[in-house]
Amino acid sequence: MRQPVGPFRLAMMEAVLKKIQVGPVVVLSAKMTAALLLCLLPLLASASSSGGYSPLSFLLDLRGDSVKVRYAPGSLDRASHSQDRFELVVADCKSWAHNSMPLVVYVLGPEEWQAAEVDRPYGLPQHMSSTELAVASWGDAQTVALWRDLLGRRLPVVEGTALRGSPEEVASIALQNVMAVVEAFEMCLASSGISGDQPWIEGFLVQAMVRSFVQKHEAGRLAEVDGVFASFSERGGGPGALSLNQALEPESLTQWLWAEAQFYEAAKRLAEEEGKAPAKVVFKLAGKQKGSLQAAVLVAEFPLLADWLKEAFAGDSAVPDGQ
């Protein structure tokens, strides 16, 4: 019995047809187009069984000033939205960390996600290399279940978005978007040459950029993002639930999100005390120290970090001597 052609496979075959042109342009009727697509099905099946077919072969390209997006057919709106957002991330990376970071974002559906062998489950961002980042193209039952488990509750309503899907499916992608910015700024810092003499410094620097990004570009969502990270912390047991070493080597997604929430809390406190984007003041200090931040100097400049370290992580090994 012939299986129906799914919308994703149909879109892929249409993408193939657009790339094939032999002789003069021919306008096909709807019936002729359908017949041609059906004829292509055995070829696709044969290629799949021989290892020659991959959903990744059909990704389309969207080029920007600094960010290239590769996306699945049917995901152009999502790809365009992602490109706009990550162009801002790359610009801020250059402004704060003085790093002109090239970035390729893969906007993938479930089938491409599996083909790309992404380690994390569909619905969580994953950097694939020092310049490549994978994100889910749309929410579905899988992404909703994932984020319900990670938050421990129903997903928050997201206002003012044009993404497709149910309210919770849209919310699951909005949550992914928050963590995608974290991943992108981690990539920014890793290639910037800026580092610290204590292991918590890099996590703090990343979240200083994340908090500054939200303040600068999405100020209306600031309370929402603060609440998301607070939920991550609560889900993981609250401040002090893990040691710094455990936070740096998380054994689960819940622990990973808990750790990011602790670093975000430090950035949030600094922003509230300084009254400005924390990335500006922190990276200015990094510049004075020629890109190598010392924990003792950082805590002396921003004493609130000493209290944060004592509260955030079990034990006191993270606090510089004399603080």
Over the stretch 279-312, which tens digit does the pLDDT of each residue have? 999 999 999 988 899 999 999 999 999 999 999 9
Measured in Å, how far apart are the chain's first and last C-alpha atoms?
Answer: 74
Give the pairing type, strands 67-71 and 103-108: parallel
State pLDDT tens for residues 48-94. 444 555 667 889 999 999 999 999 998 999 999 999 999 999 999 99
162 inside domain? yes
Domain match, 30 and 83 both: no
Total domains, the chain: 3
Domain match, 93 and 42 both: no
**Which residues pair with residue 62 across a beta bridge?**
69
Task: Say if CB 265 and CB 243 are below 8 A apart.
Answer: no
What local confidence, expressed as pLDDT, does residue 249 receive? 95
Task: Say if CB 135 and CB 107 are below 8 A apart.
Answer: yes
Domain match, 262 and 292 both: yes
Of the residues 177, 208, 223, the one at which a domain ends: 177
The pTM score is: 0.81
Determine which of 114-118, 185-189, 312-316 has the lowest per-residue pLDDT on average.
312-316
Of the residues 129, 150, 177, the one at which a domain ends: 177
What domain range is 149 assigned to? 60-177
> Would you list the DSSP string of 78-143?
HHHHHHHHHHHHHHHHHHHH-----EEEEEE-HHHHHHTT-SSPTTS-EE-SSSEEEEESS--HHH
85 inside domain? yes
State pLDDT tens for residues 87-114. 999 999 999 999 999 999 999 999 999 9
186 inside domain? no
Q: How many CB atoms lie within 10 A of CB 134?
A: 24
**Which residues pair with residue 284 across a beta bridge?**
none
What local confidence, expressed as pLDDT, does residue 45 receive? 47
What local confidence, expressed as pLDDT, does residue 315 receive? 80
Is residue 177's pLDDT more than 90?
yes
Is residue 194's pLDDT more than 50?
yes
What average pLDDT does the structure give for the chain? 85
Instruction: State the pLDDT confidence band at 275, using cuts at 50, 70 and 90.
Output: confident
Domain match, 148 and 242 both: no
Domain match, 200 and 308 both: yes
What local confidence, expressed as pLDDT, does residue 116 receive? 92
183 inside domain? no
What local confidence, expressed as pLDDT, does residue 321 receive? 56
187 inside domain? no
Domain match, 120 and 72 both: yes
Instruction: State the pLDDT confidence band at 33, using cuts at 50, 70 and 90.
Output: low
What local confidence, expressed as pLDDT, does residue 246 receive? 94
